[in-house]
Structure 1
Amino acid sequence: MLADMSPRLLVFSGLPGTGKSTLARQLAGHLRAVYLRMDSVEAALLNAGLPAVSTEGYAVSYALAEDQLRPGMEVVVDCVNPLGVTRGAWADVAGRTGAHLVNLEVVCVDSAEHQRRVETRRAQPEDHSGRWSPPDWPQAQRSAQGYQAWTSPHLTVETGRGTPEENFGALLKLLGG
């Protein structure tokens, strides 16, 4: 009998500057999985001429993830995912494709470190800059005010005290190797 071959949909969620992108990129490379970064999707939409983006980036990402999961690819998603409705939509994508959903919330409990990370982050060419730029500290604080508490199962990774390598090791351990 073959083992369950269903792909995983691994959704990294959390406030800007917590370390989501660092961990998501590392995991996607480790798994050789598809990497979907919400910032890249939103940057592309803005640079294509949309005056602003809100739900459009998530709608595009749900469709792209579904397209990759159907043929069996594992997908790593990097997004803030602040609302129950967005979290539910990722669960719907997993349900429609038969994928295993793994929700990963990335937090940085050290507020001084969190602020330092946000304030020292700069848009890089590989971030598909243009009209998009990373949030500043006041924007990150506004994101925190609208970030809903989790009511669905998820794993939490705290990144405030470890190096990126240590945090990735902790993530792999949390995921079972």
Structure 2
Amino acid sequence: MFIVFSGLPGSGKSSIAVKLAARLKAVYLRIDSIEQGIREAHVLAAGGEIGPAGYLAAYRLAADNLRLGLTVIADSVNPLKITRDAFQAVARGAGVGMLEVEIVCSNAALHRRRVETRPSTVAGLTLPTWEQVEKRDYEAWHRTPFRLDTALLSVEECVDMLIAAMHRE
């Protein structure tokens, strides 16, 4: 199965995705880690922008591991229809089921506190500011994802709900 996370920075995606990957013994692909590796390799496009490189690498890694019969979890903001559709094409190409998960934090004050106080768990990665999170381009979904609100649910509750949802897929 391919489990694809999306949601704004600080919403709780990575906390949930890491716990889920550990419980399932799944392959964990974090776009932040891939993109930071690209930055450290100094292979950025003109203008210093990472562009789609991290996502393109993740699609390939996911496809490789899905074809091996492994469960794969992709952890990224996944803010655009084009990235969501590309993840879906990977699952289709590998012939596996897919669970699209959107993590939200409906309490703006809590979300802001998380963004402003969380430490980076990717060495060298500069985390976005609250202002950057608020201004981030994040398109509305054209399909209905499995949505979890971390203002109302703990990480463990989210993981339990995702495992239950996987069994229904």
Normalising to structure 2: TM-score of the pair? 0.91
The alignment status of 1:33 with 2:29, answered yes or no, reads no
Instruction: Provide the secondary structure at the position in 1 that maps to 2:119.
Output: coil
1:48 corresponds to: 41
* Partner residue of 1:137 out of 98, 117, 130: 130
Instruction: Provide the secondary structure at the position in 2 that maps to 1:166.
Output: helix
Alpha-carbon shift at residue 170 of structure 1 (Å) = 3.5
Q: CA RMSD in A?
A: 1.5
Pairing of 1:73-92 with structure 2 (within 5 A):
73-92=70-89
Alpha-carbon shift at residue 176 of structure 1 (Å) = 4.3
Structure 1 runs of 4+ with >4 Å offset: none
Between 45-54 and 30-39, report the one with greater CA deviation.
45-54
Alpha-carbon shift at residue 115 of structure 1 (Å) = 0.3
2:141 corresponds to: 150
* Partner residue of 1:58 out of 52, 55, 58: 55
Q: Which runs of 5+ in 1 are unaligned?
A: 1-7
Tell me: CA distance 1:31–1:16, structure 2 relative to 1, closer, same or farther (3 Å). same
1:166 corresponds to: 157
Q: Which runs of 5+ in 2 are unaligned?
A: none
Instruction: Provide the secondary structure at the position in 2 that maps to 1:80.
Output: coil
Identity rate, percent: 40
* Partner residue of 2:123 out of 125, 128, 142: 128
The alignment status of 1:118 with 2:131, answered yes or no, reads no
Letter in 2 for 1:95: R
> Quick one: distance in 2 between partners of 1:98 and 1:172?
20
Offset from partner CA, 1:132-175 (integer Å, 9 cap, x none) = 311111111111xx211111231101101333233333433444
Instruction: Provide the secondary structure at the position in 1 that maps to 2:49.
Output: coil
Normalising to structure 1: TM-score of the pair? 0.87
Letter in 2 for 1:42: E
Offset from partner CA, 1:73-126 (integer Å, 9 cap, x none) = 1100100010101000001101111011110000000010000000001224xx
Instruction: Provide the secondary structure at the position in 2 that maps to 1:85.
Output: helix
Give the total of aligned pairs.
164
Letter in 2 for 1:27: L
